[in-house]
Amino acid sequence: MFSKKVTIELNNRDDPVHLEPLSDIHIGHAGFDEELYIDRVQSITDDPDRYTIFLGDQIDAITTFDKRFNPDMSKEHDIDNQRLKWDELTQPLIQEHDTSHNEKIWGLLHGNHEYKIPQITRSYLENHFTTPHGIDFLGSRAIIGLEIKHEEEILQQYTILAIHGSGGGKPERMFEQMKKNVYADIFMCGHLHQKRYQPELANDFDFATGQRWERDIHLINAGTFCHTLVDGADGYMDRKNEVVYSKPGTATLTIKASEGKISGHI
C-alpha cells in the first residue's frame, strides 16, 4: 500500500483539472495500438490542465519463457526491448513532467503483467520506469490525496483510490469490491480493459446543520491501448465463449474545483 499527496496550483481559479489515467498499454502485444497511445501521450503533454497516472500493465511482458507465450500475439519477446519502447513513446510526457510547475504524472502502478514476472522486480521498475524520470512508484494499490489550490487558497481536497485490479469479471463487480473498507471521493482501476465511468452517491453527516447530506463519489475503469481481437491471429480471447471488449482508449475525470464538481468522460 502506498500513499501520496498531489498539490495542483491553478493559474486561474476556474481552470479545470483533467485526470486521464493511462492503463493496460501492453507494449509488445500484437494488439497494442501505438498510434492511439502516441495521440493520448501528446494530448496530455500539450494540455497544461491535463494530468495522468499509469495504472499498470505498461508492457505485456510475455516472453518465450512464459507459459502464456503465443507467437501470434507476442510480437516483441524481450522485456527490456518492451521497456525501451515504452520509454521512447512516453518521452514527450516524461520531459513535460520534468519541467512542469505541477506534476504531470502522479505516479506509476504495476499490473499483473509486471508483478507476476520474476524478472520485473520493484527494483527493475524503479531503476528503469520511475526514478530516472522523477515518477513515484505506487505499487499495485495507492491512496492519493489531491489538493487543488489557487493563490495559496485551498479550493478542494479529494481522496483517490488507485489500483490496477485483478481477476476476471466486469467493471461493475470490481467497482463494488474496490469500495470495501475504503472511504474515497474517486475510485479508479485498470486490468479489465473496459472503459467505464459511474457516478454514485453516498450518505454523510454535516455536524454544522445536524443533517445528512449526499456525497458524490466517482468510479472509473481506465480502459486499454490493446485490441482484444487481432485480425489474422489466434489469441487468448478467441478461445473464450464470451468475448466482452470495448474500443481502446481512456476514461477521464474533469474536476472543477471552484465549483466542487467532478464529471467523467469515456
Within a 10 A sphere around the Cβ of 34, how many other Cβ atoms? 12
Whether 233 contacts 220, CB under 8 Å: no
Per the CB < 8 A criterion, the answer to whether 30 and 232 are in contact is: no
CB 70 within 8 A of CB 110: no
CATH architecture assigned to 2-265: 4-Layer Sandwich (3.60)
Q: Using alpha carbons only, give the angle 149, 153, 158 rounded to the nearest 5 degrees.
A: 45
How far apart CA 85 and CA 76 sit, in angstroms, is: 10
Which segments of the chain are extended strands (E)?
Answer: 2-9, 17-19, 50-54, 105-108, 141-150, 153-163, 186-189, 195-206, 211-224, 249-250, 252-256, 261-265
What grid cell was written down for 63? 516472453
pLDDT at 57: 97
Cell 494540455 locates to 47
Q: What is the pLDDT of residue 189?
A: 97
What tens-digit pLDDT sequence spans the chain (266 residues)? 999 999 999 999 999 999 999 999 999 999 999 999 999 999 999 999 999 999 999 999 988 888 888 888 999 989 999 999 999 999 999 999 999 999 999 999 999 999 999 999 999 999 999 999 999 999 999 999 999 999 999 999 999 999 999 988 888 999 999 999 999 999 999 999 999 999 999 999 999 999 999 999 999 999 999 998 888 888 888 788 887 778 899 999 999 999 999 999 99
- How far apart are the C-alpha atoms of 130 and 121, rounded to whole Å? 13
Place of cell 520485473: 120
pLDDT value at position 245? 78
* Nearest alpha carbon to residue 62 among 72, 76, 49: 76
Query: How many Å apart are CA 167 and CA 158, to the nearest integer?
Result: 28
Closest CA to 190 of 144, 126, 248, 105: 248
Residue 193's nearest CA partner among 33, 84, 64, 47 is: 33
- Structural contact between residues 158 and 19, judged by C-beta atoms closer than 8 angstroms: no
Angle ∠(225,160,201) on CA atoms, nearest 5: 100
User: Which amino acid makes up residue 16?
Assistant: P
How many CB atoms are located within 10 Å of the residue 243 CB? 10
The pLDDT score that the predictor gives to residue 233 is 85
Question: CA-to-CA distance for 85 and 73, rounded, in angstroms?
Answer: 17
**pTM of the prediction?**
0.95
